A and B are shown apart, each in its own frame.
Chain A
Amino acid sequence: MRVTLKSWDPAPIAPEKWFLCLGSEGRGRGPCVGQDKHTHTHTHTHTHMQMSFRATWSLVLKKVGPGMRGMHSPGSAANSEGKMPPYTNYHAQRSYPMPDEPFCTELNAEQRALKEKEKGSWTQLSHAEKVALYRLQFHETFAEMNRRSNEWKTVMGCVFFFFGFTALLIWWQRVYVFPKKPITLTDEWKAQQLQRILDMKGNPVQGLASRWDYEKKEWKK
């Protein structure tokens, strides 16, 4: 599914490149490779299956501890001890969009020069440089972060599958397990029962007998 990106949005990162920035050993991320050289082609046309696979796999790669904490509280003070970058989870928190630490912490010479240039007037920065600075600071753009997914289809599919499976179990139970129904559930008996209840005027105020017209011998309209 393609995400429609605005013209100024930086180029989406190829999924395999995400791993380079994740720092799976928990030591910090390592150099952030220049991210403005990637192409548009294959990134967001992944199916929801591949996306969720990568999410699970990236969870597996992360260590428990600082990694897990990073999932639930990006940018919190607790993160700094593990030196994990804030956006280590695949779906960054919409409710905490500006973490304290930048995404890329180890910068090469070129990137450090760019950070120096950033200290000056921003009108001097070219568009590509602004995009590069954004990518140093943040993992994903808002558009990327808020993109829809196809997860709901998987969820609904599983739900309906289990409905169907349960229905099969219940049908099998009805055929092979349940005993014979008692005689009182036959139509004839139910009719006689109803007649008896009407004769004894059971629930005549607002219930069953109140709905029977005793003069006309039919249900009240």
Chain B
Amino acid sequence: MAYPFQLGLQDATSPIMEELLHFHDHTLMIVFLISSLILYIISLMLTTKLTHTSTMDAQEVETVWTILPAIILILIALPSLRILYMMDEINNPSLTVKTMGHQWYWSYEYTDYEDLNFDSYMIPTQELKPGELRLLEVDNRVVLPMEMTIRMLISSEDVLHSWAVPSLGLKTDAIPGRLNQTTLMAMRPGLYYGQCSEICGSNHSFMPIVLEMVPLSYFETWSALMV
């Protein structure tokens, strides 16, 4: 989850998110370079008494400031496309979990082996136990085995929602009438929080997602209990 005075992205829990972190560093560096160049030029413009009002053409600088941004954009696009294709690699998931967005909660279906269905509502602030995170905790967490590729199928029963878990680099729209698929793989155990990311009505901010990544044996125990 996010912590106070956090500046960057949350730590990566999945390999894809790691790649995205590095890509973000790379792109942000380019953005900082461009912005500081512009700031410097603006400060030069504002602190000179010289004027020049008779510019007719400027072919050299025009060429430079067309070619150079094109190169910069290619330098951004290539890593970006690489990660995009990496997300769609074939990975043979071991488990499939379905999640349906409702107004205003998520419901989860584990139907590979048994028929496990449950809803996941946010815990209201008054009912929080001491130390829990406001607007982030849910009554039934999504327990999943760690270090295994899991297929998530995401859809909605009513309006648009979006199932997002930032530290795994996941954000997939839940569209009524459509099945969207994403791949989940957590390298560490723990609790990973996310929030609905598509406006869906008055309680859009109050339908969070909590993944509980546990070793496989714990997952088996839990799913046996839940059914």
Q: Could you list which residues of chain A lie within 8 angstroms of chain B, going by C-beta atoms? A: 94-96, 182-184, 188-189, 192-193, 195-197, 200-208, 210
- Tell me whether A205 and B133 are in contact (CB under 8 A): no
Q: Does B177 contact A (CB under 8 A)?
A: no
- Tell me whether A207 and B130 are in contact (CB under 8 A): no
Q: Does B188 contact A (CB under 8 A)?
A: yes
- Tell me whether B51 and A189 are in contact (CB under 8 A): no
The size bracket of the interface on B is 20 to 34
B-side contacts of A210, CB under 8 Å: 11
- Tell me whether B12 and A205 are in contact (CB under 8 A): yes
Say whether chain A's binding surface is mostly helix, strand, loop, or mixed: loop
B-side contacts of A202, CB under 8 Å: 1, 3, 190-191
* Bound-complex Cα distance A96 to B11 (A): 58
Beyond A203-B3, A207-B10, A208-B3, whether A193 also contacts B125 by CB under 8 A is no
B-side contacts of A201, CB under 8 Å: 188, 190
Say whether chain B's binding surface is mostly helix, strand, loop, or mixed: loop
Given contacts A196-B131, A201-B190, A206-B11, 13 further A-B contacts (CB under 8 A): A94-B51, A95-B53, A96-B53, A182-B134, A197-B1, A200-B190, A202-B1, A202-B190, A202-B191, A204-B188, A205-B12, A207-B6, A207-B10
- Tell me whether A182 and B125 are in contact (CB under 8 A): yes
Which residue in chain B gives the minimum CB-CB distance to A191?
B131
B-side contacts of A193, CB under 8 Å: 131-133
Beyond A95-B53, A200-B191, whether A189 also contacts B11 by CB under 8 A is no
Q: Does B128 contact A (CB under 8 A)?
A: yes
CB distance from A208 to the nearest CB of B (A): 4
CB interface residues, B 1-53, toward A, < 8 Å:
1, 3, 6, 8, 10-12, 49, 51, 53
Q: Which of A184, A195, A204, A205 is B128 in contact with, Cβ under 8 Å?
A: A184
Beyond A95-B51, A184-B125, whether A204 also contacts B11 by CB under 8 A is yes
* Bound-complex Cα distance A210 to B53 (A): 57
A-side contacts of B6, CB under 8 Å: 207-208
B-side contacts of A205, CB under 8 Å: 11-12
A-side contacts of B133, CB under 8 Å: 184, 193
Q: Which of A184, A189, A197 is B3 in contact with, Cβ under 8 Å?
A: A197
CB distance from A185 to the nearest CB of B (A): 8
- Tell me whether A189 and B130 are in contact (CB under 8 A): yes
Minimum-distance CB pairs A-B, first 4: A192-B131, A95-B51, A208-B3, A184-B134
A-side contacts of B10, CB under 8 Å: 203, 207
A-side contacts of B49, CB under 8 Å: 94
CB distance from A198 to the nearest CB of B (A): 10
* Bound-complex Cα distance A202 to B51 (A): 56
